[in-house]
Amino acid sequence: MNFLEIMRFAVRGLTANKLRSALTTLGITIGVAAVILLVAVGNGASASIAASIQGLGTNVLNVSAARGGGQGAVTRPLTTQDAHSLVDPVGAPDVKAASPVVTTTATATYGQTSYDISSVTGTEPAYFETTNRAVADGSLFTTDDVTAARKVVVLGPTTAQSIFGTAEPVGKNVLLNSIQFTVVGVLEAKGATGTQNADDVAIAPLTAVQNSLTGYGNLNQIAVQATTADSVSLAQAEVTAILNARHGIKAGGTADYQIQNSEQLLATRTAATDTFTVLLGAVAAISLLVGGIGVTNIMLVTVTERIREIGIRKAIGAPRAAILGQFLAEATMLSLFGGLLGVLIGVVGSRFTIAGIVPVIVPSSIVLAFAVSALIGLFFGSYPANRAAALRPIEALRHE
């Protein structure tokens, strides 16, 4: 009695009732595919959030005015001087750059084309490095441009395309709210980060924007770049100390500004998506377990249905091991086949975008789901198989 013969008996047993075998297989297939796919979706969600936060720059702090302004306290707006005071090799050695930022919206007009730019930013050249922006065409504006308040602008790729179409934008003049600006550069595409499209922007010297669009009011934010990703928290403490001093905020007092740290943002978001992934995985694992119970159920039915056959086999000399092997092989084949199919569906399915998330397969989830499906066959099949093998020939033969 060799292994191959046992396998042949098992295949014959399974093909004798194709519909039943197929439905049992389906249970395992759905379970395995669900584990792989749902874990991939959860993983894809965290990956996309991590990527978008990474895109903002991991060593960036955003200082913005506090909303509400405290309880009747005198709130001081953020000023350009605040921004410049943060670049201080003595008081703030971990701050590499700090750019004052004003933001507004504007309608751009070029020839017959009119386009609403969702974000017009006035800032200083350091802002480009701080936010990881590089120029694809032309050049960025310079400190000189800021000092002279030259009306030059760097456009995001989406903006440039919307205004100029296929024409070369660099060197052209464009009207922003009827004020003429010269396009000096186009940024590299960065993609949507969260809700905002980072490619639909116009960035111009702070002074030029204040001059012509926003007026010399308050800053919307100060973009601070720490020297390295590891020194973000040190930089945050230094920025806090300097701003507290400048704004006259005593220790323990409520600050009239807030500092947002991309690391913290990443940590909270990742924690949320991790929970999400665990929940999805748990649901999928339950469906895999249900599939396993399905295998047990079908094997029990099969054994009961074929007790006479087992009796015949034993009467003509089938050893216990051969009967055990045959039914165990049947159960394992069912779940292995279902598992393979599930892996296939899971892998293929995760190539599609699901609910706006591009799934990222976790290789260990494939290994785990497949191994579990194989073990399900052995584990859940062993009980019915044992029952079949332990029957006395005469009892089995008398069974109706």
Partner 1 sequence: MKPVIKVTGLTKTYGFGDTAVHALRGVNLTVLPGEYVAIMGASGSGKSTLLNMLGCLDVPTSGEYELDGFPVSELNERQLSLLRNRKIGFIFQSFNLVPRTSALSNVELPLVYSGLSRTPRRTRALAALEMVGLSERAKHLPNELSGGQQQRVAVARALVTGPAMLLADEPTGNLDRASTADVLGVFDRLNALGRTVVMITHEDEVAAHAHRVIRVDDGLIVADDRRWVGVA
Least separation, in Å, of the C-beta of 383 and partner 1?
A: 19
319 binds partner 1 (CB under 8 A): yes
User: Minimum CB separation from partner 1 for residue 297, in Å?
Assistant: 22
Q: Which of 320, 351, 353, 371 binds partner 1 (CB under 8 A)?
A: 320
Give the nearer residue to partner 1 in terms of CB position, either 1 or 282: 1
User: Applying CB under 8 A, what is the total number of residues that bind partner 1?
Assistant: 23
Q: Which of 11, 12, 180, 230 binds partner 1 (CB under 8 A)?
A: 12
User: Which one, 108 or 328, has the nearer CB to partner 1?
Assistant: 328
DSSP state of 211: I
Q: Are strands 173-176 and 95-110 parallel, antiparallel or unpaired?
A: antiparallel
Judged by CB under 8 A, the residue of 72, 317, 356, 363 near partner 1 is: 317
Site for partner 1 in 367-396 (CB under 8 A): 392-394
Which amino acid, 181? F
- Indicate the SS3 state at residue 274: helix
The residue assigned the tokens 């293929």 is 348
Question: Residue 318 interacts with partner 1 (CB under 8 A)?
Answer: yes
For residue 195, state whether it binds partner 1 (rule: CB under 8 A). no
Sole residue written with tokens 């990443």: 266
Both tokens of residue 115? 């386009």
CB of 319 to partner 1, least distance (A): 4
User: What distance in Å separates the CA atoms of residue 349 and residue 189, rounded to the nearest whole number?
Assistant: 29
For residue 345, list its beta bridge partners. none
Tokens of 394: 């005469």
Q: For residue 308, state whether it binds partner 1 (rule: CB under 8 A).
A: yes
Neighbours of 203 (CB within 10 A): 27
Selected from 150, 313, 331, 357, the binder of partner 1 by CB under 8 A is 313
DSSP summary character for residue 229: G
Nearer to partner 1, 139 or 304 (CB): 304
| C-alpha–C-alpha distance, residues 334 and 374, integer Å | 9
Residue 9 beta carbon to partner 1: minimum distance, rounded to whole angstroms: 8
Nearer to partner 1, 283 or 315 (CB): 315
Task: Give the bridge partners for 226, in sequence order.
Answer: 95
Q: From the CB of 374, what's the least distance to partner 1, in Å?
A: 26
Residue 188 is a binding residue for partner 1 (CB under 8 A): no
Output the CA angle 48-53-58, nearest 5 degrees. 135
Q: What is the DSSP string of 181-202?
A: EEEEEEEPP--EETTEETTSEE
Residues making contact with partner 1 (CB under 8 A): 1-2, 5, 12, 16, 308-309, 311-322, 392-394, 397
